[in-house]
Amino acid sequence: MSDSASRFPSRKLRYYTLRNIEKHRLWNSIPAETREAIRVVGQVLPFRVNDYVLDQLIDWSAIPDDPIYRLVFPQPGMLSDGDYRRVAEALQRHAPADELKRVVHEIRQTLNPNPAGQMELNVPLVEGNPIPGIQHKYHETVLFFPSAGQTCHAYCTFCFRWPQFVGESDYRFAARETDDLVAYLAGQPQVSDVLVTGGDPLVMSTDVLRRYLQPLLDAKPEWPSTIRIGSKALAYWPARFVTDADADDLLRFFEEIVASGRNLAFMAHFNHYTELSTPIVLEAIRRIRSTGAMIRTQSPVVRHINDSAEVWRRLWSESIKHGMVPYYMFVERDTGARNYFSLPLARAWEIFREAASGVSGLARTVRGPSMSTTAGKVEILGPAYIGEERVLVLRFLQGRNPEWTYRPFFAHYDEEATWLSELKPAQNAERFFFEDELQSMIDSDNR
Ligand SMILES: *Cc1c(COP(=O)(O)O)cnc(C)c1O
Ligand code: SF4
């Protein structure tokens, strides 16, 4: 496999953050007021990028509108005017470090750092003790967060896990080893999928990744039947699969998982077709597929970055062309700089419908704009009428109660709503059909 790698010069992964971005040769090509905005917003929200993204993905002649630039560089509109001025003012007068820290912390607390009850709900117990590093919300699929995989090769400005990258959450999700996972799964025979996630688990070396996963693979033959790896490394650091020192070993590990009789599902996070435009990412895709792994693609729909049907149409058709299966379009979660990034549910659905109308059926595997809410994953099926009332039709793709799966339900049409919580039930109903049951599940879970 290394022969293909020799076509690509090996690159060292170099990160840039607020601390050293000024040393990058491109820094001075950014207009001065934009540089200030990066420094101000970057105090509050995470910022990390690398040479590959800077040199090969961003079109510097198109900044500040370039979508990849907006994907990784803090944007002035990500903070409210008042918050922005507070931070800018503190920086200008060189406020003492602990004052700046307090201002920043206060602002972060107003950005809903813990959406959808992730911390309280979904963490399984063994003998009454919560198991760190595991989330189990839907029967068949368990999420596993190895502690060594809780960063990324670059940070997305819209990321819903932003609190963990700025030290506002204590990585309570993160697992140090796999023993707890194996012990927990022993009592969960209905689980078919273990989804390894982060951050990005592929920031780990292959050795470390093996250390986490091998005990699970050894515990029982051919079970769990699917290992999913959620990663943005194809977009942010494709060298991981081509020229990194342990790239070949990573692919060998993928082959071993497949040879063990399991399905290896690579859940690739791509936001924009530009991320599919370099020779090395295409080589990385080819190499991953050659191991027998299946790549699926997913992304949130995000204002200022990919809120156009044409972007999605190209993203999906190019995914298909390179042998990847479009899987999810997500709705941006209700956290962080969502005022800047979110768009109305009705608009997200229009983008989805229009993009889908321009691709063949092979790309229409993708599930429409979906919200990961406390109740479950809710897909927007689109607007319709019940008699005279305009409604938005929704359904659960995953429910906290599996009985909710695929049940359509109706909200009163609201052109502005950006999240399920802003929608009201149609027909003047008091509540959506699942709400009483959800509340009693939450109450019984409050331990
Ligand atoms: C999306 C998600 C899953 C996986 O759902 P699929 O529809 O099987 O892809 C599992 N757990 C959580 C918490 C999720 O948000
Ligand atoms: S790759 Fe995923 S976890 Fe990492 S910053 Fe982007 S959205 Fe967040």
Placement of tokens 């509340």 in the chain = 439
At a CB cut-off of 8 Å and minimum separation 6, what does 397 contact?
Answer: 367, 370, 376, 377, 378, 379, 405, 406
Omega before 199 within 30 of 0, i.e. cis = yes
Placement of tokens 């979904």 in the chain = 122
Q: According to the model, what pLDDT value does residue 2 have?
A: 53
Q: Domain coordinates of the chain in residue numbers? A: 3-109
Instruction: Compute φ and ψ for 328, nearest 5 degrees.
Output: -130, 140
The C-alpha atoms of residue 123 and residue 66 are separated, in whole angstroms, by 39
pLDDT digits (tens), the chain, 447 positions = 456 657 899 989 999 999 999 999 999 989 999 999 999 999 999 999 999 999 999 999 999 999 999 999 999 999 999 999 999 999 999 999 999 999 999 999 999 988 866 556 788 888 888 888 999 999 999 999 999 999 999 999 999 999 999 988 765 568 888 999 999 999 999 999 999 999 999 999 999 999 999 999 999 999 999 999 999 999 999 999 999 999 999 999 999 999 999 999 999 999 999 999 999 999 999 999 999 999 999 999 999 999 999 999 999 999 999 999 999 999 999 889 999 999 999 999 999 999 999 999 999 999 999 999 999 999 999 999 999 999 999 999 999 999 999 999 999 999 999 999 999 999 999 999 999 999 999 998 765
Angstrom CA distances, 279 to 56, 62, 276, 285, 320, stand at: 10, 21, 8, 10, 17
Q: According to the model, what pLDDT value does residue 172 have?
A: 55
Q: Judge contact between 76 and 83, C-beta under 8 A.
A: no
At a CB cut-off of 8 Å and minimum separation 6, what does 133 contact?
Answer: 144, 145, 146, 147, 173, 174, 175, 176, 180, 181
Q: According to the model, what pLDDT value does residue 168 have?
A: 85
Query: Which atom of ligand 2 lies at the shortest distance from residue 199's CA?
Result: 3
Q: Are strands 294-301 and 141-144 parallel, antiparallel or unpaired?
A: unpaired
Angstrom CA distances, 270 to 39, 324, 392, stand at: 26, 11, 27
Ligand 2 environment, Cβ below 6 A: 152, 155-156, 159, 161, 198-200, 232, 269
Query: Which atom of ligand 2 lies at the shortest distance from residue 154's CA?
Result: 5
The C-alpha atoms of residue 244 and residue 247 are separated, in whole angstroms, by 5
Q: According to the model, what pLDDT value does residue 121 have?
A: 78
Q: How far is the CA of 398 from the centre of ligand 1 (A)?
A: 7
The C-alpha atoms of residue 277 and residue 2 are separated, in whole angstroms, by 22
Omega before 224 within 30 of 0, i.e. cis = yes
Q: According to the model, what pLDDT value does residue 3 have?
A: 60
At a CB cut-off of 8 Å and minimum separation 6, what does 351 contact?
Answer: 301, 307, 308, 309, 312, 369
The residue nearest atom 7 of ligand 2, judged by CA position, is 159
On the 0-12 / 13-18 / 19+ scale of CB atoms within 10 A, 383 is middle
Query: Which atom of ligand 2 lies at the shortest distance from residue 230's CA?
Result: 2
Task: Give the SS3 label for residue 47.
Answer: coil
Q: How far is the CA of 8 from the centre of ligand 1 (A)?
A: 35
Q: How far is the CA of 200 from the centre of ligand 2 (A)?
A: 7
The residue nearest atom 6 of ligand 1, judged by CA position, is 398
Q: According to the model, what pLDDT value does residue 245 have?
A: 97
Q: How far is the CA of 365 from the centre of ligand 1 (A)?
A: 16
Token duo for residue 371: 């919200």
Query: Which atom of ligand 1 lies at the shortest distance from residue 367's CA?
Result: 7
Q: Are strands 294-301 and 134-138 parallel, antiparallel or unpaired?
A: unpaired
Which ligand has the shortest distance to the CA of 302?
2
Pocket test of ligand 1: the residue of 398, 404, 405 to mutate, having most ligand atoms within 8 Å of its CB, is: 398
Number of C-alpha atoms within 13 angstroms, CB side, residue 360?
Answer: 7
The C-alpha atoms of residue 300 and residue 156 are separated, in whole angstroms, by 11
At a CB cut-off of 8 Å and minimum separation 6, what does 148 contact?
Answer: 203, 204, 208, 212
Which ligand has the shortest distance to the CA of 372?
1
Angle subtended by helix axes 97-109 and 32-44, to nearest 10: 80
Q: How far is the CA of 9 from the centre of ligand 2 (A)?
A: 26
The C-alpha atoms of residue 261 and residue 239 are separated, in whole angstroms, by 27
Q: According to the model, what pLDDT value does residue 119 have?
A: 58
Ligand 1 environment, Cβ below 6 A: 135, 137-138, 141, 143, 372, 377, 397-398
Which ligand has the shortest distance to the CA of 199?
2
DSSP string, 214-229: HHHHHHSTT-SSEEEE
The residue nearest atom 1 of ligand 2, judged by CA position, is 232
The C-alpha atoms of residue 409 and residue 425 are separated, in whole angstroms, by 8
Angle at 53 between CA 47 and CA 56, to 5 degrees: 160
The C-alpha atoms of residue 292 and residue 365 are separated, in whole angstroms, by 20
What is the distance, to the nearest Å, from the Cα of residue 111 to the centroid of all Cα atoms in its chain? 18
Angle at 267 between CA 263 and CA 268, to 5 degrees: 140
Question: Is the Cα dihedral 386, 403, 342, 90 positive or negative?
Answer: positive
Omega before 64 within 30 of 0, i.e. cis = yes
pTM of the model: 0.96
Token duo for residue 323: 């042998």
Q: How far is the CA of 397 from the centre of ligand 1 (A)?
A: 9
Token duo for residue 363: 């790309």
